[in-house]
Structure 1
Amino acid sequence: MILDIILIVGGLVLLYYGGDLLIGGCLRIAQHYRVSPFVIGATVMGFGTSAPELAVSLLAVLEGSPEVAMGNVVGSNIANVGLVLGITALLVPVTIAKARFRLEALPLLIATFLLTWLAWDQVLVRWEGLLFLLGIGLYIARALQDKEESLLQFEDEMKWFRGKPVAFQFVLIVIGLALLVAGARGMVVGGVSIARTFGISEWFIGITIIAVGTSLPEIVSSTLSALRGHGEMALGNVFGSNIFNIFMVLGATASIDVLAIQEPIHADLIFTTALTCLLLVLISLKHQLGKVAGGVLLICYTSYIAAKGFNVF
């Protein structure tokens, strides 16, 4: 029990400092290359925090478990919108410029609807995987063309890393991501052990502790970004993470082997598409996610988990 508590506390510390390093490095790279904070959040931060999903899905396919790979992507995308942005918006309003939102909403919609369309027959073949990989290539190429007119201002943040070269900032990002993953794992391992000690069911552990644990990198990085006034980076993190999960994770896995799913996934595909559309509608109303919107997203997420638990669909 004592070791489990140490793991949880240590995990929290690693998450905080990992998020600090990740955001600091991302902001300075955005400043150096005059790239939009949203783009940095959607590429460097979003892709980085989704690296665990890529590793899990690739391993699942190599071990003959395509359901795990598909479920990992769909479940992660639902958690990113409902849980990550729900929590972030409840803590601090997340804003995005109108022009930026119009530009970035379309790629997310395309990726989401393309997933629903191609996976509707519960099979992803190699050519569909290659199509997804083409999608992530086009998305990155487009993002790199996006330059920011004005430099970011964050002189009070992480002063001890100010003035370091760009290569050093990339090292900070890698270290930050490693600390985030290690911190999330520490919290999951410690939390699962304590839950089992008190006789909590495996299913409940899976949909709460493990689900939250695998989303902790996104939660921490998005929340810290928003708290520091970089709401576009927080949204970019989720947008980029979801696009990366669809195009890169499923693209890579389906290119290796055909993903044939046995269990019905139509309701899950509909839900992730509907939740994504709801997010975009909520943002378009005021170009901001406030407490009400955050509460709505969290209610949607918890309702989905409850429905899955009671086998409603």
Structure 2
Amino acid sequence: MQILLYSLAMLVSFALLARIVDKFFIASLDRISSDLRLSSDAAGATLMAVGSSAPELFVALFAVLRPGNHEAIGVGSIVGSALFNLLFIGGAVALVKKTKLTWQPILRDILFYFIAVALLLWGIIDGDFSLWNAAGFLILYVVYVVAVIKWRKILPYKDMEYTQEEETAECAEEGLTFWLDKSLCFLFPSREKYYWVFSISILLIAALSWGLVETAIHVSILLDIPESIIALTVLAVGTSVPDLISSLIVAKQGRGDMAVSNAIGSNIFDILVGLGLPFMIAMVVYGRSIQAGGQNLVASSVILFVSLVTFFILLLINKWKVGWITGSILVGLYIFYVVREIVLL
């Protein structure tokens, strides 16, 4: 009975996360990025990546701060989310609409992602993250943001044309989403106050992420399986639903660059800030290094690195074009990874 209640709590949390992002968060992000006059790839790699990765950040933060050595939940959700973003979301974007990507921003993101994954793999294999590791992660992210801003001067390129589809923050009046909106709508102001909509969305995402960490711990105990497995699979997919939604929305609009940059940029944020910031806070609070290793995390991190190499090779072979072949390969690789995790339980 308990496992059913916890599973239901997870599903409700995931559904609420998805609805908040889909109907409220994305609408506010589009307006804010317009105010800041960000190019589509810059918005995808920074603002949208930071926002849509908030669940992973808060899950990692609550996991490392919670007494009892639950760091594996935070690291596992980040690694699993990175695999989901790169393979499943990247593949889904390619399947939704065939796109020729602008290679300059994608090359930038892949280069920084290689470095981020290498640093992560190093720390996981070593099994110990120090304050210097955490500081290195955060410094590298600052360098990445500067590179995003300056990259157009280094390798000039133009935004791809797209048809804008207006996103609203209005609540549904009928259909399956009505009941979710009914529980959320009274918390949000009108869509014209989009900065408030953005702020409230972040607070709700944080609260739901805390609930997910607590639920994951109890599910792990009840099923007698490692916390890292729950994090690598269930939590990773659930917290990445906002990334999936936002990427598919912009992909349908013809903004393939923004969709792919969002997926990869989210991964860069997840690793460098989603782990770097919680690790640094925990080290300051508890005065110790973070122990995060284990065969599940090592193997998944290696698979992540290999997947990134595969993704880059596919882009080179197809001359920076993504379509159903690329999409099928990427989604197939993610399904293989999930089946592997289940078989090894």
Q: Which of residues 29, 47, 50 in structure 1 aligns to 2:50? A: 47
Q: Which of residues 40, 60, 66 in structure 2 aligns to 1:57? A: 60
Q: Shift of the alpha carbon at 1:244?
A: 0.9
**TM-score w.r.t. structure 2 length?**
0.70
* C-alpha distance in structure 2 between counterparts of 1:122 and 1:307, whole Å: 23
Q: Shift of the alpha carbon at 1:78?
A: 0.9
Mapped pair 1:157 → 2:162: no
Structure 2 residues not aligned, in runs of 5+: 171-191, 284-288
Q: Are residues 297 and 160 of structure 1, via their aligned partners in 2, closer, same or farther at CA, if it must alter by over 3 Å?
A: closer
Q: Which amino acid aligns with 1:232?
A: D
Q: Shift of the alpha carbon at 1:142?
A: 2.8
Mapped pair 1:260 → 2:291: yes
What pairs with 1:170-181 in structure 2 (closer than 5 Å)?
A: 170-174=195-199
Q: Are residues 13 and 129 of structure 1, via their aligned partners in 2, closer, same or farther at CA, if it must alter by over 3 Å?
A: closer
Q: Which of residues 244, 247, 265 in structure 2 aligns to 1:222? A: 247
Preserved CA contact (<8 Å) 1:21 1:176: yes
Q: Are residues 228 and 182 of structure 1, via their aligned partners in 2, closer, same or farther at CA, if it must alter by over 3 Å?
A: farther
Mapped pair 1:79 → 2:57: no
* C-alpha distance in structure 2 between counterparts of 1:70 and 1:10, whole Å: 20
Mapped pair 1:239 → 2:264: yes
Q: Shift of the alpha carbon at 1:247?
A: 0.7
* C-alpha distance in structure 2 between counterparts of 1:127 and 1:181, whole Å: 27
* C-alpha distance in structure 2 between counterparts of 1:209 and 1:128, whole Å: 27
Mapped pair 1:213 → 2:244: no
Mapped pair 1:272 → 2:297: no
* C-alpha distance in structure 2 between counterparts of 1:254 and 1:158, whole Å: 36
Give 2:96's aligned residue.
Answer: 91
Most deviating of 261-270 and 21-30: 21-30
Preserved CA contact (<8 Å) 2:82 2:304: yes
Q: Which amino acid aligns with 1:87?
A: A
Q: Which amino acid aligns with 2:138?
A: L
Q: Are residues 209 and 114 of structure 1, via their aligned partners in 2, closer, same or farther at CA, if it must alter by over 3 Å?
A: closer
Q: Are residues 50 and 11 of structure 1, via their aligned partners in 2, closer, same or farther at CA, if it must alter by over 3 Å?
A: closer
Give 2:115's aligned residue.
Answer: 110
Q: Deviations over 1:212-234 (max 9, x none)?
A: 32221111111111001111111
Q: Which amino acid aligns with 2:335?
A: T
Give 1:164's aligned residue.
Answer: none
Preserved CA contact (<8 Å) 1:86 1:298: yes
Mapped pair 1:19 → 2:22: yes
Preserved CA contact (<8 Å) 2:247 2:258: yes
Q: Which amino acid aligns with 2:166?
A: E
Preserved CA contact (<8 Å) 1:15 1:183: no
Q: Shift of the alpha carbon at 1:118?
A: 3.2
Q: Shift of the alpha carbon at 1:182?
A: 9.2
Preserved CA contact (<8 Å) 1:88 1:294: yes
Give 1:286's aligned residue.
Answer: 319
Structure 1 residues not aligned, in runs of 5+: 162-166
Preserved CA contact (<8 Å) 1:21 1:173: yes
SS at match of 1:286: coil
Q: Are residues 100 and 32 of structure 1, via their aligned partners in 2, closer, same or farther at CA, if it must alter by over 3 Å?
A: same
Q: Shift of the alpha carbon at 1:81?
A: 1.2
Most deviating of 58-67 and 227-236: 58-67
Q: Which amino acid aligns with 1:66?
A: E
* C-alpha distance in structure 2 between counterparts of 1:93 and 1:140, whole Å: 28
RMSD over aligned Cα, in angstroms? 3.8
Q: Deviations over 1:109-154 (max 9, x none)?
A: 1111222223321211111111111111222233234568669765
* C-alpha distance in structure 1 between counterparts of 2:197 and 2:308, whole Å: 31
Q: Which amino acid aligns with 1:281?
A: I
* C-alpha distance in structure 1 between counterparts of 2:203 and 2:100, whole Å: 28
Q: Shift of the alpha carbon at 1:171?
A: 4.2
Q: Deviations over 1:259-302 (max 9, x none)?
A: 21352233222101011111222223231221111111111111
**Count of matched residue pairs:** 293
Q: Report sequence identity in percent.
A: 27
* C-alpha distance in structure 2 between counterparts of 1:308 and 1:155, whole Å: 40
Preserved CA contact (<8 Å) 1:11 1:184: no
Q: Are residues 292 and 135 of structure 1, via their aligned partners in 2, closer, same or farther at CA, if it must alter by over 3 Å?
A: same
